[in-house]
């Protein structure tokens, strides 16, 4: 299928472009290169449209010129903390931008959409593991933007027959096993890359945000899912929709949680280097524990993560950071 990958020059998008290409789909990258990387586009060697969701003409051009049959939508700002400080940026980009995209899809009769949602739509868990029927009560604007789009997808499906798969990711992490693609955010705020930057000596220390949570070691617990497993889930979700499967919202995680302190220790083990930490106050918008019940992904998409342990995930990320940790500037 011809698949427009919106945000395909970014971290998860680029890995998914590769996974689509590897199984014979024809991905086309659409990206404004604000946070995405021209060098990732070059490495992937697929058609590229430089455009912005807030310029609808760009989207129409991409959909029409490439005769797009399905869209995967990754283009969003994704920093929980920043979304609390600057919600306007998040609602404008993540919500308004998506309305423009869905409208363009509607008028170009593109009826399949795989959307990057998030476990941040659940808010504070009321159960040790989250399944898809857990109430969705986000505790930060980032989570709200994603939940609003999920609701739009439900309504567009009902009214216009646009089929969707909303993939509720847990914590995307790691890099492609061969080091071709990786995680390169500016600024970097995610836990695993920050630990690696401290190990490498690029940063002095890691602030642990909160050591008084009601967890076994007082720090937050997250479910780290390898980016190539996430990419594979997108391909399966697309196949599900194109095979006339029902629209769905589905968790993509490993089902195992690791605390912030465990990630620090694992980084030390993988790198053989110390990760100096500073115990710091809680960060606004953080839920104490987010761990997936990924039964539905297994049953409906026949998807299982290949990376089920933290260490190999950190190893792939370390490989990327040892090489350089950044894409060359175009
Ligand atoms: N975290 C931390 N120090 C940092 C960055 C993150 O203690 O410098 C914690 C953060 O509070 C959260 C976990 O690590 O509990 C994962 O955060 P990240 O930003 O990587 O992903 P999120 O869960 O917010 O999507």
Task: For residues 299-313, give the mean pLDDT.
Answer: 98
pLDDT tens for 240-295 read 999 999 999 999 999 999 999 999 999 999 999 999 999 999 998 888 999 999 99
CA nearest ligand 1 atom 16, residue: 191
**CA of residue 240 to ligand 1 center, whole Å:** 32
Q: Strand order in 163-169's β-sheet?
A: 48-50, 26-31, 2-6, 70-73, 112-118, 163-169, 248-252
Q: Give the residue numbers marked as catalytic.
A: 142
**Closest ligand 1 atom to the C-alpha of 190?**
20
**CA of residue 191 to ligand 1 center, whole Å:** 5
Give the per-residue pLDDT at 256: 97
Give the per-residue pLDDT at 323: 87
Give the per-residue pLDDT at 327: 87
What SS3 class is residue 329? coil
Q: What is the pTM of this model?
A: 0.96
- C-alpha to C-alpha distance for 29 and 33, rounded to whole angstroms: 11
Task: For residues 55-83, give the mean pLDDT.
Answer: 96
Q: Name the residue of 141, 142, 191, 203 whose CB sits within 8 Å of the most ligand 1 atoms, as the mutation to test its pocket.
A: 191
Give the per-residue pLDDT at 330: 63
What SS3 class is residue 173? strand
Give the per-residue pLDDT at 127: 86
Spatial CB neighbours of 288, under 8 Å, sequence gap ≥ 6: 124, 125, 213, 214, 215, 220, 221
Average pLDDT, the chain: 96
- pLDDT interval class at 2 (50, 70, 90): very high
**CA of residue 189 to ligand 1 center, whole Å:** 7
Percent of the chain with pLDDT over 90: 92
The closest alpha carbon to 71, from 108, 120, 33, 24, belongs to: 108
Q: Name the residue of 283, 284, 285, 290 whose CB sits within 8 Å of the most ligand 1 atoms, as the mutation to test its pocket.
A: 283
Give the per-residue pLDDT at 209: 98
**Closest ligand 1 atom to the C-alpha of 118?**
25
pLDDT tens for 112-159 read 999 999 999 999 889 889 999 999 999 999 999 999 999 999 999 999
Assigned token pair, 47: 């058609």
Q: Which residues line ligand 1 (CB under 6 A)?
A: 80, 171, 189-191, 194, 206-209, 220, 222, 260, 283, 286
Task: For residues 171-194, give the mean pLDDT.
Answer: 94
pLDDT tens for 212-242 read 999 999 999 999 999 999 999 999 999 999 9
Question: What is the ipTM, given to two decimal places?
Answer: 0.99
CA nearest ligand 1 atom 11, residue: 209
Give the per-residue pLDDT at 285: 82
Read off φ and ψ for residue 26, nearest 5 degrees.
Answer: -115, 90
The number of angstroms, rounded, from the C-alpha of 120 to the middle of its chain's C-alpha atoms is 11
Domains of the chain: 2-173+224-252 (3.40.50.720), 191-223+255-323 (3.90.25.10)
- C-alpha to C-alpha distance for 204 and 14, rounded to whole angstroms: 30
Give the per-residue pLDDT at 324: 78
CA nearest ligand 1 atom 1, residue: 191
Is the CB of residue 6 less than 8 Å from the CB of residue 73?
yes
**CA of residue 169 to ligand 1 center, whole Å:** 15
Is the CB of residue 191 less than 8 Å from the CB of residue 222?
yes
């Amino acid at each position: 299928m011809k698949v427009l990958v919106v945000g395909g020059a970014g971290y998860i998008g680029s890995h998914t472009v590769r996974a689509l290409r590897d199984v014979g789909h024809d991905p086309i990258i659409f990206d404004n290169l604000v946070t995405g990387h021209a060098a990732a586009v070059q490495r992937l060697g697929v058609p590229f449209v430089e455009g912005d969701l807030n310029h609808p003409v760009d989207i129409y051009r991409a959909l029409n010129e490439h005769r797009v049959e399905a869209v995967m939508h990754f283009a969003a700002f994704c920093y929980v903390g920043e979304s609390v400080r600057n919600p306007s940026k998040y609602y404008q980009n993540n919500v308004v931008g998506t309305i423009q995209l869905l409208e363009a899809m509607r008028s170009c009769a593109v009826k399949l959409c795989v959307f990057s949602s998030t476990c941040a739509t659940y808010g504070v868990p009321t159960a040790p593991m989250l399944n898809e029927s857990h109430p969705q009560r986000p505790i930060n604007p980032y989570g709200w933007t994603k939940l609003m789009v999920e609701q739009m997808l439900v309504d567009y499906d009902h009214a216009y027959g646009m089929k969707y798969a909303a993939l509720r990711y847990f914590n995307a992490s790691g890099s492609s096993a061969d080091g071709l693609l990786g995680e390169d955010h500016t600024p970097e705020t995610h836990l695993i890359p920050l630990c690696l930057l401290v190990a490498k000596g690029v940063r002095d220390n890691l602030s642990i945000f909160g050591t008084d949570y009601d967890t076994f070691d007082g720090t937050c617990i997250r479910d780290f899912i390898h980016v190539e497993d996430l990419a594979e889930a997108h391909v399966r979700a697309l196949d599900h929709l194109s095979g006339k499967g029902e629209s769905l919202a589905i968790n993509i995680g490993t089902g195992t949680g690791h605390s912030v302190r465990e990630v620090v220790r694992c980084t030390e083990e993988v790198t053989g280097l110390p990760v100096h930490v500073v115990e710091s106050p809680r960060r606004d918008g953080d839920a104490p524990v987010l761990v997936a019940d990924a039964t539905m992904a297994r049953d409906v998409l026949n998807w299982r993560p290949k990376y089920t342990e933290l260490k190999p995930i950190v190893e792939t990320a370390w490989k990327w950071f040892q090489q350089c940790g950044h894409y060359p500037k175009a």
